[in-house]
Amino acid sequence: MNAAALTALVDRWRPETHTFHLRAGEMTPTLQDVSMILGLPIQGEPLCMNTASDGWREQMANLIGMAPPAPENPKERAPAGAPFAWIRTNFGELLPEGAERDTIRTYTRVYLWYMISRTLFADSGGKLAHWCWLKALTVLERRWSWGTAALAYLYRQLDEACRRTGSGGIGGCLLLLSVWSWDRLSVGRPRYSKRDHVVNSIFISIVL
């Protein structure tokens, strides 16, 4: 991903219209882009839920069997979620052979939580998986409209990023934003050289 190009795009974002104001006019990623680029469903149940974080550690422990420890200082406010390092430490090992169904579902739930928190719903810090996304995976069989949720979250992250006065990262699905900008804009687009074609041809010949 081209960090400079993404930063330039954020400077052109307008939260009033949720569009990039460019010299050629207004542009923005749409649900069609989400479906075509990410292959996510844009139909299904809207991902609407109560995002209150009261008692989130107890709820997380009930759902996956454990939760990050509370801060030693009771006055210190910790975000409602688990650091990615904590998830890898506690769930990074392979499932034991002959694991029970509940254990398999727990590991599946945590894996999905980790993946969507790193890709679709990344925060600007890039170190935390928020509790609300695990909460959405309470019932794995629910057919959520993940594409709609990912686009709405990206809009929100762009709103916050363009208003931010200090330094900070950009949250949301930056893969979606990058591929969308490469397709729609000629600036910052990766170039495909003849050398790449030759290398790929040689690799294919060796494999065959």
| Structure token digits, residue 169 | 């990262």
CA angle 138, 114, 51 (to 5 degrees): 50
- Detail the DSSP E strand segments found in 51-119: 81-83
Tell me which residue range forms the domain holding 111.
3-207
Contact criterion met (CB below 8 Å) for 35 and 147: yes
31-50 pLDDT, tens digit per residue, is: 999 999 999 999 999 988 87
Rounded Cα distance between 113 and 107, Å, is 10
Structural domain count, the chain: 1
Q: Which pTM does this prediction carry? A: 0.83
Q: Digits of tens for pLDDT over the chain (208 positions)?
A: 778 888 888 899 999 999 999 888 999 999 999 999 999 999 999 988 877 778 899 999 999 999 998 877 767 777 889 999 999 999 988 888 888 999 999 999 999 999 999 999 998 888 899 999 999 998 888 899 999 999 999 999 999 988 876 666 788 999 999 999 998 887 767 776 655 555 554 444 444 4
Give burial (CB, 10 Å; 0-12/13-18/19+) of 86: middle
Rounded Cα distance between 95 and 170, Å, is 34
